[in-house]
Amino acid sequence: MPVLFRMKVIPLVLLLAMVFAFLLNWPVLLHFYDILSHLEHDKAGFVISIPFVLVAALNFVFMPFSVRYLLKPFFALLLITGSMVSYSTLKYKVMFDQSMIQNIVETNPQEAHSYLNGSIILWLLLTGVLPAVLLFLIKIEYPSKWYKGVAWRALSMVASLALIAGVAAIYYQDYASVGRNNSTLNKEIIPTNYVYSTFGYVKDTYFTTKEPFQTLGDDAKRVASADKPTLMFLVIGETARSKNFSMNGYSRDTNAWTRQIGGVISFANVHSCGTATAVSVPCMFSDMNRTEYSHKRAANSEGLLDVVRKTGVSMLWKDNDGGCKGACTRIPTIEIKPTADPKLCDGQTCYDEVLLDNIDQDISKMSGDKMLAFHLIGSHGPTYFQRYPADQRHYMPECARSDIENCTQEQLVNSYDNTIRNTDRVMAQMIEKLKQYSDRYNTVLIYVSDHGESLGEKGLYLHGTPYKIAPEEQTHIPMQVWMSPGFIAEKHMNMTCLQNNALKNAYSHDNLFSSVLGLWDISTSVYKPDMDIFHGCRS
């Protein structure tokens, strides 16, 4: 490989620290100075010191990895991955904690492809690939003796600490104040944020002793209806937020299809367990509430569907969103392939109508009481425009691109609202299908989204923000219920009571577990009547 120029190892590491500080950590510096711009008083020295402290800290962290044969491949990898993280942070305000790493690892190729666009490729080439190539063209000069190399590295690290200590001695109160009021800043520094989070995810996933598998609801019993069997559709939405549902007060008629059907109850105040599918879906099907939820425990335990299955209900999960994240592991599953239906799929993704393909055959293959769970692709971004057919472009102009930050707010909201309206259309089709079975079954549909979505509010896009600082747009989700007259009579459901509760009471994913068990009249020690949304409205 040709040599571009020569450089001693110690200044090279300092140069790398400066590249990360001023180029890849540009989003962090912008965030820092945005915070300072809102302070009534700030010291010029404190403001000037911020990039120097960042460079010194990175130099200290980088120095131990500056050994021969490791330096170039290690930092080339950090430059390329750091570039992608930097773009996501700058454009979408994504925070790379352990939950986000889990979400990335569990993303399927089709879903990942939707995030690619010209902007991110250009950014990656200029800020990641190009610096990595230049690094390999540098002839690094190492000290002739190993102990001299150790001494020079130690001296550089001590100098970095001395600079940080000197700044802290003068401006400690300023840094402490900003840090206390902005606890996420330390999680935004590239590459320490995603490297640390990835290490934690790998350790917890592959190098931690698994908990013994736990069964759930082994005492579950159910008395089947003496009238006719029950057919339940449980629909898991994707990335739908409550504030864009007209049934919850939104100015646009995004629930036009179900509004025409009538009988749909919309719960106005429901919150999710997480801000990403990888957390919310396994959490909502577990018997744990949000504050005690453990992904490790959920992965090694039975869940809601297992308990229902134990009582003799015939089960099926149909998925159009890349997997159930462990919630359906032990029940029959159909994963929709992106080539499943030429009319509804384009080879990379399918419209949610595809879930109704062969639905009559699916139902006929099941016996007795039946429960079908559908996992929608719903409003999954950033390619919102790919979630609805051309004839469903109701709100125009749309944002027909994946780099949504380059669309106008009007275009972005139009595309997103089209996804909500299309999901409503699919819900209406599912209800109409249940109506066709109402002479043979007591039928019911429950719809709930996994999490919400940010559409540029407060500079945030997409989802996945850590829950404790996540905006309402990412946690306030829609939930809807439709029941046939036969189901209402069988369950002695007071619909006026249910409608009133839907308007005034606050619920969350924590309620789903016991609410579904309650609708199936399953008695078990893991059922909690006070968490059952429907319990108080049954006479």
Per-residue pLDDT of the chain (539 residues; tens, 9 = 90+): 676 789 999 999 999 999 999 999 999 998 888 888 877 677 888 889 999 999 999 999 999 999 999 999 999 999 999 999 999 988 888 888 888 888 888 777 777 777 788 889 999 999 999 999 999 999 999 998 999 999 999 999 999 999 999 999 998 888 887 877 777 787 889 999 999 999 988 888 888 777 789 999 999 999 877 789 999 999 999 999 999 999 999 999 999 999 999 999 999 999 999 999 999 999 999 999 999 999 989 999 999 999 999 999 999 999 999 899 999 999 999 999 999 899 999 988 999 999 999 999 999 999 999 999 999 999 999 999 999 999 999 999 999 998 898 899 999 999 999 999 999 999 999 999 999 999 999 999 999 999 999 999 988 999 999 999 999 999 999 999 999 999 999 999 999 999 999 999 999 999 999 999 999 999 999 999 999 999 999 98
Residues 6+ apart with CB under 8 A from 372: 231, 232, 233, 234, 315, 316, 317, 318, 359, 362, 363, 366
Q: Residue 478: helix, strand or coil by DSSP?
A: strand
In 3D space, the residue among 291, 323, 280 whose CA is nearest the CA of residue 464 turns out to be: 280
Closest-CA residue to 35 (of 177, 169, 166) = 177
The predicted structure's pLDDT at residue 318: 98
Helix (H, G, I), strand (E, B) or coil at 461: strand
318, two tokens = 């149909």
What is the per-residue pLDDT for 431? 98
**Superfamily covering domain 221-537:** Alkaline Phosphatase, subunit A (3.40.720.10)
Q: Which pLDDT score is estimated for 40?
A: 67
Closest CA to 78 of 119, 33, 19: 19
CB atoms within 10 A of CB 527: 23
Q: State both tokens at 272.
A: 């999710």
Q: Residue 281: enclosing H or E segment and its boundaries?
A: helix 277-284
Cβ within 8 Å of residue 222, ≥6 positions away: 311, 312, 313, 520, 521, 522, 523
Q: How far apart are CA 119 and CA 324, in angstroms?
A: 31
Tokens coding 495: 């619909």
Cβ contacts of 457 within 8 Å, gap of 6 or more: 471, 473
Tokens of 381: 């971004």
- Tell me, rounded to whole angstroms, the distance of Cα 124 from its chain centroid: 23
CA-based R_g, the chain, Å: 27
Angle at 510 between CA 504 and CA 515, to 5 degrees: 75
Is residue 161 a contact partner of residue 60, using CB atoms and an 8 Å limit?
A: yes
Measured CA to CA, the distance from residue 188 to residue 469 in angstroms comes to: 14
Q: Write down the pLDDT at residue 156.
A: 96
At residue 358's C-alpha, the angle toward residues 352 and 359, to 5°, is 75
Instruction: Give CA–CA dist 285/303, Å, rounded.
Output: 6
Task: Fill in the DSSP letter of residue 213.
Answer: P
The CATH 3.40.720.10 domain(s) of the chain lie at: 221-537
Question: Which tokens in the block code for residue 243?
Answer: 């504030």
Task: Return the bridge partners of 8, or none.
Answer: 141
- Residue 110, C-beta contacts closer than 8 angstroms, at least 6 positions apart: 322, 338, 348, 349
What local confidence, expressed as pLDDT, does residue 37 receive?
A: 80
**CB 289, CB 297: distance < 8 Å:** no
- Compute CA distances 363 → 337, 431, 443, whole Å: 20, 15, 13
Residue 211 confidence (pLDDT): 75
Whole-angstrom Cα distance, residue 79 to residue 194? 12
237/464 Cα distance (integer angstroms): 16
Cα separation of 178 and 188, whole Å? 14
Helix (H) or strand (E) holding 140: strand 138-141
Longest dimension (CA), the chain: 89
DSSP symbols for 69-115: TTHHHHHHHHHHHHHHHHHHHHHH-----HHHHHHHHT--HHHHHTT
pLDDT value of position 63: 96
Distance CA 9, CA 67 (A): 9
- Contact by Cβ (8 Å): 357, 344: yes
CB 377 within 8 A of CB 352: yes
pTM: 0.87
Within 13 Å, how many C-alpha atoms sit on residue 510's CB side?
A: 14
Q: Tell me, what's the pLDDT at 495?
A: 97
Place of tokens 């399927």: 108
In one-letter notation, the amino acid at residue 318 is K
